[in-house]
Structure 1
């Protein structure tokens, strides 16, 4: 039965456009062979008479169309040095002439021919033939440019036709058809909800829709209506597309999937046409689900702020999508699933109830969710007994599901690179450092003086953060170059939902401590603190202009969650306010820098000792830090991070 079913699905093969290319190529080659452009080297009458004819080297001469003489040399004489200028041609096997000669008038040529052979015996005289040839190639060569243009457009339409259904010449007009990939019941995705770790609340929302399609009577008996659209949004890597794949695997209905960019083409009106065709197919197979990934490609806002970036084709596509989602036409049995990283750029008409009824925010996973995600990705790996999943989850706060999958893969690659049979906990630690800090580059050559500066710079971060309560726990300091950085201090940050002003200030002080250490030890500073200064400056502006932490400015925030300020040519505050913000930011940074100088001056001996340890070992772990700096008073939770 299954074989019969699959045979019924096979569509008969239609006409293949490549046969046209083949026929055209055969015609060209045939015309070329019938009139081979393989003429020999052209010579003068003088050389012909003295070097060839008088030496009895000529086998025959053929006069073509009373214009040109083709000279054929005897095979036995071709090895002589004077005939080395004969072109080595592929068509020599087709009796192509060895030399050619323009004869001028036929009467003059015949007269010279008789005079040149008057002393020859009858056996020595060379045969002279006359032929009239029709050059088919020159007759049809004017058609070649037109034929190439026709074939080029046939090829273009063929490529467009592939994006529609069918194939061949009949599908050259299918570029207005939908390019969505259909996942039917028999070819459904292998991903299920069991493969989607974490996202508990989001799965409940989406699973309800799937259950509605499977058991509609359970909901309709109470008068409930199925949602028309579900929008998945959140940071990259949080599992939006994975959740949609799980829906395709779980739903017992046809599932159409495509990207938002596939609606937009070079031809005006194609996007709207593809939207119409997509919903037409989905309605024919209703109940069904449509998944549009990266919907912001066609769903961007049409407000005045985007006037300079307007695109009529994209706007027409969006208008057609709005009409299909909730317009005069019926749209029963079709659920639209969409995903985006930039929900703030979407048009308000697209987000309203009746089009996308449910908005599901997929945030970065918590520790418990990371444990579940790790267990999913660790299943196919060969693990050592020392691998602690809870510790791995604790060491990766702020990591998305995609980041966790990357860590597991990098750990496996690291273990394979070192010819191990099992993946150990240390391999995961190396993979985490590789992803967060960059590739370790021990081969990078730096001068002893630069290494001395880097060691004190990193020691400054470590010492200052050790003596501040609100800075995350420090676990390792390294002066091994990674990525663009010459050193790094590794922390285990707490998972916080909110950050207080005191925590911000301690973090700023710790970041400025590297530059402060250079000033204390060397009485000068280097450019190595550029990354620290950039982070501190941005954080200070956030504190003053966004979070309302500054007493002088007060509880005022210029944060723009809608992204409208980005399109304005000016700033959302006056020049006086901008000047005040700059002054408060400068004062805030200088106060924390002076604080870092004070802390490091007080603990200068520990700073020097830790820097010397880094110069000797290149790395200092938690035990080394406790031995030099003493037991830290501030207790912190596990997490991870880097300077």
Structure 2
């Protein structure tokens, strides 16, 4: 039976173009068969015809006036002669009328007719001369219908192109443009992703697994009076695994799974989006219990009334209204659950977020160190690595990395190992991959003058010295003055992954960030444009302390941050001009205090700063061990920092010309 099924599945599918091809072949065939290619008559000339006439062999001559051709019919006695032995007595295609033995093409009709008449009189012949016209029925039909066929074919082609599809199916014709473009997941043919392939995301995975269980065994919950949730919204930063989680639901659920993107509802025609929403939910109801997954729902789910300055009717709002109605409108959807994913939950419409539509909002956060280790285990399965590879060490090297970033690290490490002709990927390849992704590609051939190189070295040494001497600053483990990406120098730190940050921690970090410019001031008594990224970073931190977190005594316990995003389109500040001036003063005061503090620290340890910079000029890359030889063991140790510590890059010295332009 299996063999028969395979045989049937390999049969070619019917296509409407086959019919057009058969009709075309038939028309061409009729034209070909009715032409002189299949005639039994033999070609002759005017002089030969005259000889046949004089010999009395011609019974009748039929002159076709519209084709300048004549057909010659011989007598029965002439057919017995040796000269006409090559003539076929029977036609290739049977015909009800008489068949000509010869055909010829004449020139001028009057001359041809006069010659025949003269020979008849001269030899006293009774040969019949007739005139007629020849027509081809199929050729006439083809010529008359061909323009209409071409016009209709072009029209059908344009309509199919406008509707965005080729053959049949949803969207294949102009009348199906309002059909849903959702893809129905087939667990037999599509690549199946299970919850085992989703590392980390324990809380989110548990919530989604329960939704699958709702559809598999609804009586377990409805027997106690509970209701199946209408929908779940996956919210989180890009690359954290929202779409992957939905793929796992498609792989695990034993129910129909419709998948599409929010942009699939958007079309150039009015009303198409709402029509596609209706068709999508109609298909889901027909196959219920079912799951609908809408990726990037913010494409149609943005809050209504925003950015509609023209006052015109917004097609996106009509689509959203229809989606709201289908999810929890007058008609109840039984056993149809809607999953959606977005990284911009703050811009979604409040009506979409209320209970009864998206009952659950599942936050998919960036993975912690334990979850990063699990993600590495998943992505390292197809990669050949050394058996001694420490996954916990790799997890510590990637703080703030999402699941997509970790997948990129694994792939980049494999490429680096292959580039170096290695048989397996080792620890150094992963470190190089992290450096490559975070900082960019090394540019060892970049032309830098000795004076610029010395400035860069002291700048990076200033960062290293201040971060090593301050309690809450992240200690530095690697410094390089080799250009990488857009930076002329780079430093890697060991920051801790904090859930809350105190003012002294932020101030120490700002002081360490300003250590590069402070070092230039202490050593050269000059400053440069190389601290652009440092100034940008500390300005944002200081502004956040004053206006967001309420950590400034002068401004007080106030915040001007709106988590709902409602003020993102506002044209006025939520504070007075006097408060704005006071905010600017406090921001400048915080930054200047930390800058002077960095100068004091570097002035106190100027000799060690010089030794560190000279070693950096000599080696171009130094590590934590070099700092311990110069400064000694770091006084501030914290077991929690060691647990969550990892390596990241701070691009401190940017290209001078680019910074000047900025």
| Interval of TM-score (by shorter of Structure 1 and Structure 2) | 0.7 to 0.9
8 Å CA contact retained: 2:511, 2:594: yes
Note closer, same or farther for the CA distance 1:263–1:627 as it changes in structure 2 (3 Å cut).
same
Aligned positions of 1:89-238 closer than 5 A: 153-159=155-161, 161=163, 163=165, 166=168, 171-238=173-240
Distance 1:238 1:311, change over 3 A: farther
Q: Sort the Cα spacing of 1:515 and 1:18 in 2 relative to 1 into closer, same or farther, 3 A.
A: farther
1:360 and 2:362 aligned: yes
TM-score, scaled to structure 2? 0.76
Change (3 A) 1:491 1:309: farther
> Partner residue of 1:616?
618
Counterparts of residues 7-18 of structure 1 (less than 5 Å): 7=8, 12-16=13-17
Where does 1:282-361 land on structure 2 (aligned, <5 Å)?
A: 282-303=284-305, 307=309, 312-361=314-363
Structure 2 Cα separation of the partners of residues 399 and 349 of structure 1 = 33
Q: Which residue of 1 aligns with 2:416?
A: 414
**1:298/1:320 Cα in 2 relative to 1: closer, same or farther (>3 Å)?**
same
1:417-445 alpha-carbon deviations (Å, 9 max, x no partner): 11100100000000011111111111212
Q: Which runs of 5+ in 1 are unaligned?
A: 31-135
Pairing partner for 2:496 from 479, 494, 497: 494
Matches within 5 A, 1:521-532: 521-532=523-534
CA spacing shift, 1:152–1:236, aligned 2, 3 Å:
farther
1:367-382 matched pairs, under 5 angstroms = 367-382=369-384
Residues 18, 154 of structure 1: alpha-carbon distance in 2 compared, 3 angstrom cutoff: farther
Counterpart contact for 1:411–1:423, Cα < 8 Å:
yes
Deviation of 1:381 after TM superposition, in Å, equals 1.1
Kindly tell me the number of residue pairs found equivalent between the two proteins.
Answer: 535
CA distance in 1, matches of 2:2, 2:365: 43
Q: Does 1:639 align with 2:651?
A: no
Which is worse superposed, 375-384 or 296-305? 296-305
How far, CA to CA, are the matches of 1:341 and 1:530 in structure 2? 29
Matches within 5 A, 1:33-52: none
Distance 2:538 2:181 in 1: 48
Post-superposition shift, 1:226? 1.1
- Shift of the 416–398 alpha-carbon distance from structure 1 to 2, 3 Å rule, reads same
- RMSD between superposed Cα atoms in Å: 3.1
| 8 Å Cα contact 1:184-1:253 kept in structure 2 | no
| Structure 2 residue aligned with 1:395 | 397
Question: How far did 1:353 drift?
Answer: 0.8
2: CA distance, partners of 1:509 / 1:168: 61
* C-alpha distance in structure 1 between counterparts of 2:298 and 2:2, whole Å: 41
Relative to structure 1, the CA distance from residue 152 to residue 165 in structure 2 (aligned partners, 3 Å threshold; closer, same or farther) is closer
Q: CA deviation at 1:306?
A: 5.2
2:531 & 2:447 partners in 1: Cα distance?
A: 20
CA contact (8 A) 2:171 2:177 kept: no
- Identify if the C-alpha distance between structure 1 residues 256 and 304 changes in structure 2 by more than 3 Å, giving closer, same or farther: closer
1:113-165 C-alpha deviation (Å, 9 max, x unpaired)? xxxxxxxxxxxxxxxxxxxxxxx9xxx9xx98x99886555334223556598
Quote the residue 1:82 is aligned against.
none
Q: Find the residue that maps to 1:238 and give its secondary structure.
A: coil
Q: Distance in 1 between matches of 2:172 and 2:574?
A: 56
Deviation (angstroms), 1:530: 0.6
Residue number in structure 2 paired with 1:540: 542
- Aligned counterpart for 2:281 among listed residues 279, 284, 288: 279
TM-score, L = length of structure 1: 0.78
Q: Distance in 2 between matches of 1:417 and 1:309?
A: 58
Residue 386 of structure 1 and its aligned partner are, at CA, apart by 3.3
Following TM superposition, by how much is the alpha carbon of 1:166 offset from its aligned partner in structure 2, in angstroms? 2.3
Tell me by how many angstroms 1:8 deviates: 7.7
Give the SS at the match of 1:173. Answer: helix
In 1, distance between residues paired with 2:159 and 2:286?
27
Q: Report SS of the residue matched to 2:340.
A: strand
Separation in structure 2 between the aligned mates of residue 351 and residue 9 of structure 1, nearest angstrom: 47
What do the CA deviations read for 1:533-589 (whole angstroms, capped 9, x no partner)? 111111111111111111111011001211222201121111111111001001111
Given that 1:188 and 1:248 are in contact with CA atoms closer than 8 Å, whether structure 2 keeps it comes out as: no
**Which string of whole-angstrom CA distances, capped at 9 and with x for unpartnered residues, describes residues 450-506 of structure 1?**
111100110010001110000112110110111100011100110100111001101
Match in the other structure for 1:555: 557
Q: Is the 8 A contact 2:456 2:489 kept in 1?
A: yes
**Distance across 1 between alignment mates of 2:215 and 2:245:** 17
Which residue of 1 is the match for residue 100 of structure 2? none
Aligned partner of 1:44 in structure 2 is none
Q: CA deviation at 1:508?
A: 0.6
- Distance in 1 (alpha carbons) for counterparts of 2:545 and 2:18: 65
Q: 2:257, 2:415 → 1: CA distance? A: 35
Name structure 2 gaps, 5 residues minimum.
32-138, 651-662
Q: Which residue is 1:86 aligned to?
A: none
Q: What is the rounded CA distance, in whole Å, between the counterparts of 2:294 and 2:429 in structure 1?
A: 38
| Comparing 417-426 and 304-313, the one that deviates more | 304-313
Q: Check conservation: 1:305, 1:564, Cα contact below 8 A.
A: no
Instruction: Give the whole-Å Cα distance in 1 for the aligned partners of 2:600 and 2:315.
Output: 62
1:564 maps to which residue? 566
Q: Tell me how far 1:223 sits from its aligned partner.
A: 1.9
Q: Residues 170-197 of structure 1, C-alpha deviation per residue, up to 9 Å, x if partnerless?
A: 7332111111111134335411000000
CA distance in 1, matches of 2:474, 2:313: 48
**Residues 618 and 405 of structure 1: CA distance in aligned 2, closer, same or farther (over 3 Å):** same
Alignment CA distance shift 1:404-1:180 (3 Å): same
* Kept after mapping to 1: 8 A contact 2:542/2:590: yes
TM-superposed deviation, 1:217 = 2.1
CA separation in 2, counterparts of 1:293 and 1:252?
A: 20
Between the aligned partners of 2:470 and 2:283, the Cα distance in structure 1 is 63
